[in-house]
Amino acid sequence: MSPDRPVRVLVVDDQTLFREALTTLLDVHEEVEVVSAAADGAEALELVATLRPDVVLMDLRMPVLDGVAATQRLRVEHPDVRVLVLTTFDGDDEVFPALRAGAVGYLLKDATASRLVEAVLAAARGESVLQPSVAAKVLARMSRLPDLPHEPRPQPLVDPLTHRELEVLRALADGLSNRETAERLYLSEGTVKNHVTNVLAKLGVRDRAQAALRAQALGLL
């Protein structure tokens, strides 16, 4: 994706009113361009093949082809297209199948407009954005996994995180955006972005979800 153009988004939801409202909401932001909307997963696949959006905002419970099945198809047929789940449900039966299918993020429909736009931009960069309740589920499941005897536990960091970076890491693991983290820690958003960059580099990961999982494995959370 070129940094000089808006992120191209396809909205997928079986509720007509919600599709129209979401399109209107996103079109207000110049960083985002809604290229089309689909009422189910099958229609979404057809539109992705034609329009090649950067991000698909995917509902889960839809007729014809549901969001999980559509996400699986997209991962195989269009691996460069990022899927960001936007749904009403955050139960284990929805969260983990969607993430296993290849979704890079998972938000609920009560998210604020600013958080949604930030998540779309992050997804376009290949980063993961998880609703706080979803992040908690992922970390809880990771903590229950047994240590495999043939895989040594990760070693301590060569360059330890500072106290402030640990605070940012905990906020990141809670699923907070940079703006929300800045409000929690009484920092500027730019300072938080710098800390997030440092945290990712020190942990040797590419995105926020991987950072949370690695931090959990290292016992930092």
Structure confidence at residue 162 (pLDDT): 87
In terms of domains, do 116 and 192 share one?
no
The answer as to whether 160 is a domain residue is: yes
In terms of domains, do 111 and 37 share one?
yes
Q: Identify the domain boundary among 139, 170, 198.
A: 139
pLDDT 10s digits, 120-134? 998 998 888 888 888
- DSSP string of 43-101? HHHHHHHHH--SEEEE-SS-SSS-HHHHHHHHHHH-TTSEEEEEES--SHHHHHHHHHH
Structure confidence at residue 1 (pLDDT): 57
Which DSSP category does 28 fall into? T
pTM beyond 0.85, yes or no = no
The overall average pLDDT reported for the chain is 86
Q: Mean pLDDT across the stretch 103-122?
A: 91
> Considering its fold, how many domains does the chain have in total?
2
CATH of the domain at 84: 3.40.50.2300
pLDDT of 145 above 90: no
In terms of domains, do 116 and 191 share one?
no
CA atoms of 79 and 73, how far apart (whole Å)? 9
The answer as to whether 144 is a domain residue is: no
pLDDT 10s digits, 28-70? 999 999 999 999 999 999 999 999 999 999 999 999 999 999 9
Q: Where are the beta strands (DSSP E) in 74-193?
A: 82-87, 105-108, 129-130
Structure confidence at residue 152 (pLDDT): 46
Structure confidence at residue 220 (pLDDT): 80
In terms of domains, do 41 and 122 share one?
yes
Query: What range defines the domain where residue 79 resides?
Result: 7-139
In terms of domains, do 89 and 190 share one?
no
**How many residues are listed for the chain in this entry?**
221
The answer as to whether 30 is a domain residue is: yes
In terms of domains, do 133 and 164 share one?
no
The answer as to whether 177 is a domain residue is: yes
In terms of domains, do 42 and 79 share one?
yes
In terms of domains, do 197 and 98 share one?
no
Structure confidence at residue 148 (pLDDT): 46
Residue 33 CA, distance from chain mean position:
18
Query: What confidence tier does 221 reach under pLDDT thresholds 50, 70, 90?
Result: confident
pLDDT 10s digits, 172-181? 888 888 888 9
In terms of domains, do 126 and 159 share one?
no
Q: Identify the domain boundary among 139, 159, 194.
A: 139
